[in-house]
Amino acid sequence: MNLKVTDIKQYIYCPRIIYFLYICPVSKKTTYKMESGKVEHMVLDKLEERRTLKRYRLAEGERVFHTYLESERIGLQGKLDMHIVVDKQYYPVEYKFTERSASLNHKYQLVSYAMLLEDYYRCTVRNGLLYLVPKNEIIPVEITPNAREFVYEIIDKIRQIIRSERVPERQRKVNKCRDCEYRRFCGDIDIWTKERVDKCIF
């Protein structure tokens, strides 16, 4: 069974989400944030079609939208927002509708797409781009050997959670729990107070 690229993103956000997705599926409500995200995506697609590539610091190239990518070899599948093709060079682009800066889960999601794109085109992808839509900012991400290896390790860890059917450790960042769609399914989350997290050990 192939994992989804979004699983990588979710695992980094919190490994416990994998448990809720695969072992003990729970029905979570579609939040306003998710709904408005879909609409924003569609609007952005339309806009992107008409724009130049200047914002990506590329002179010219072809934009390809929503390519479904799958690789048995890597064990991953997913749909990439967009990629740019310039003279046999390929740049995966992920849109992010976050007011904050790009985070690690976004980075490894992009690296995963880059790896899938490599299998798709039989090429080497050296750079990907994160497009932070609200800030109108493009963040280039280098696809390094270490980052690729890290993705493989995450895939292994996700499989381990699925195989062992054990609830993984919860996320240690209180803010993440606060924003998490699965929060109400985490029985032990109340005891995880800010004071305990912030306790500095000397």
Partner 1 sequence: MYFLNEIERKMFLKKMLPKARVLDVDDELRGWNWHQPPLAPAYEERLAVYEVSNTYCSTHRDLYVRRVLKTRINPNYFMISGKAFHQIVVSVIEHAKKLIYFHGPTPQGRLTSALRQAFEISWPSEVNMLTEEQKNDLTNKGKCLAEYEQGRILARVEEVLTQQPYIGADALVHLTVPVVCEHKLDGRFLGLSQYLSADAFMMSDPMVMDIKFGSPRKFHRLSTTGYALAMEALYEMPVNLGCICYGEFKNGQLIVNRDMHLIDDELRQWFIESRDEKMRMIYEEIDPGLADDCQETCPAYEECH
Binding partner of residue 39 among partner 1, ligand SF4, none, CB cut-off 5 to 8 Å per kind: none
Q: Looking at 3, 5, 14, 80, which residue binds ligand SF4 (CB under 6 A)?
A: 14
Pairing of strands 62-71, 89-96: unpaired
Phi, psi of 164 (to 5 degrees): -80, -15
Q: Looking at 183, 193, 194, 196, which residue binds ligand SF4 (CB under 6 A)?
A: 183
**Residue 29 tokens, joined:** 């409500």
Q: Is 189 in the site for ligand SF4 (CB under 6 A)?
A: yes
Q: Is 185 in the site for partner 1 (CB under 8 A)?
A: no
Query: In the chain, what is the straight-line distance between the N-terminal and C-terminal CA atoms, in Å?
Result: 46
Q: Looking at 33, 38, 66, 173, which residue binds partner 1 (CB under 8 A)?
A: 173
Residue 185: CB minimum distance to ligand SF4, A: 7
Binding partner of residue 17 among ligand SF4, partner 1, none, CB cut-off 5 to 8 Å per kind: ligand SF4
Which residues make Cβ contacts (< 8 Å) with residue 108, sequence separation at least 6? 8, 9, 12, 147, 150, 151, 154
Binding mask 140-159 for partner 1 (x = CB under 8 A): -x--x-xx-xx---------
**How far apart are the C-alpha atoms of 197 and 201, rounded to whole Å?**
11
